[in-house]
Amino acid sequence: MTKQANESPVQTDEEVGPTPVREISEEDRALLENPAAKRVWDLLTDRYPDRRLDLDTSLHGDLGVDSMEWVSLWLAIGRSVGVELDEEAIERVESVRDLLGEVTERAEAGGAAHVASPLEQPEEDLSDEQKRYLEPLGPAMSVMARGMFALNRAIFRGAFRLSVEGMENLPEEGPFVVTPNHTSYLDSFAVAAALDYRRMRRTYWAAYVGAAFGNPINGFVSRLAKAVPIDADEHAVSSLAFGAAVLKRANNLVWFPGGQRSPTGELQEFKPGIGALLAHFRVPVVPTSISGSYKAMPPGKTLPRPTKITVMFGRPLSVDELERRGDGEGPQDRIVQALHDHLAELIARS
């Protein structure tokens, strides 16, 4: 699923809203009589008021639900109904009818069908192959990683005249989360060059699987950097589990809350994943501004040009503070909105 929710065409007033009950088949009315299914139906009608909604509505094609929107929807269903859908169930869902059927089945099965949240027991959602990305580097790879760190820092201090501000804002001990804006493939390397090696040893990176693990060379470099593969297009729940596993092991995490690179250089809206992580783990979060990287290597360019890059670490924020200041229905919504505002203010000052 790759289509963004806000890319779906808005329908005319005559086409929007839920299908009247009189137009629903007897079989579908029986499905909506289930309390859990009815709560999810009501949730969908509130969430997508500008769409025509019936049980044949495609979540992807008609509502524009991409995989990160699935995370937000999955959390909302958990709050409303008290059941959690695993990634296998989510992959089976194509239409609203499919979703109501999965929820009904889970609700009727009760505790036996309860799925452990990837936030509570994240490594249960990861295969043995995936878990290896969480393991510490061995002695030989640690030596190579330190050499790569020194080379990367030398390149950025030289070719990009890297300037680092706000190092004193980084917590001395972890775990904590760094949340930079994202406009260029250079961003991760710039933040890595800004950090000291002591913190780097305890830091993992949420990296888009297509770019960071697309070939054996990139995969090897990403392993040295302790990147974990995030596939927000197809596997948002297991991607969330990777972030949760890093924090549960008391390591630091660099997470780009806007997802993929901004095509314009402007700060994007944040995906719901960061709100879910912080609402559960409630560790300090450091908004981080990266300026200059878009000019040096914007999306579409394959070779960078030497341009001054500045990394500015903002003051660490508590989740309680973000939750108090933000707007939204749930805690994760308020956290995301307040964090976005803080990062926007930091970028404006940089």
The size of the chain, in residues, is 350
User: Are 22 and 171 found together in one domain?
Assistant: no
Whole-angstrom CA distances from 206 to 67, 212, 222, 314, 319 are 16, 10, 10, 20, 20
Give the integer Cα–Cα distance in Å for 260 and 271.
10
Pairing label, strands 227-230, 52-53: unpaired
**Beta strand spans in the chain (E):** 17-18, 52-53, 163-165, 177-180, 203-208, 227-230, 252-254, 285-291, 310-313
> What does the block give as tokens for 88?
């296998």
Give the structural domain span for 103.
5-113
Predicted local confidence at residue 117, as pLDDT: 67
Q: Do 85 and 103 meet the contact criterion of CB atoms below 8 Å apart?
A: yes
pLDDT in the model for residue 68: 63
Final residue of a structural domain among 80, 113, 146: 113
- Specify whether 148 is located in the same domain as 282: yes
153 in the same domain as 92:
no
Asked if residue 146 and residue 224 are part of one domain, the reply reads: yes
Whether residue 211 sits in one domain with residue 248: yes
| Alpha-carbon distances of 86 from 70, 114, 179, rounded to whole Å | 11, 9, 27
Same domain, 164 and 254: yes
- Give the per-residue pLDDT at 58: 92
CATH no. for residue 142?
Answer: 3.40.1130.10
* pLDDT at res. 5: 41
Q: Let me know how many helices (H) and strands (E) the chain has, helices first.
A: 16, 9
Q: Are residues 77 and 104 in the same domain?
A: yes
pLDDT of residue 301: 92
Same domain for 165 and 85:
no
pLDDT at 50: 84
CATH assignment at residue 99: 1.10.1200.10
The whole-number pLDDT of residue 335 equals 96
**CB of 20 closer than 8 Å to CB of 55:** no
pLDDT tens for residues 113-162?
445 567 888 888 788 988 999 999 999 999 999 999 999 999 999 999 99
Domain ends where: 113, 134, 153?
113
Residue 261 in contact with residue 184, Cβ under 8 Å? yes
Q: How many domains does the chain have?
A: 2
pLDDT tens-digit profile, the chain (350 residues): 333 444 444 444 446 778 776 678 888 888 889 999 999 999 999 988 888 889 999 988 888 776 667 777 877 887 788 877 766 777 789 999 999 999 998 888 764 344 556 788 888 878 898 899 999 999 999 999 999 999 999 999 999 999 999 999 999 988 999 999 999 999 999 999 999 999 999 999 999 888 888 899 999 999 999 999 887 556 667 788 899 999 999 999 999 999 889 999 999 999 888 998 999 999 999 999 999 999 999 999 999 999 999 999 999 999 999 999 999 878 888 999 999 999 999 999 98
144 and 108 housed in the same domain: no
Question: Last residue of a domain, which of 113, 131, 147?
Answer: 113
> Cis peptide before 175, with omega less than 30 degrees from 0?
yes
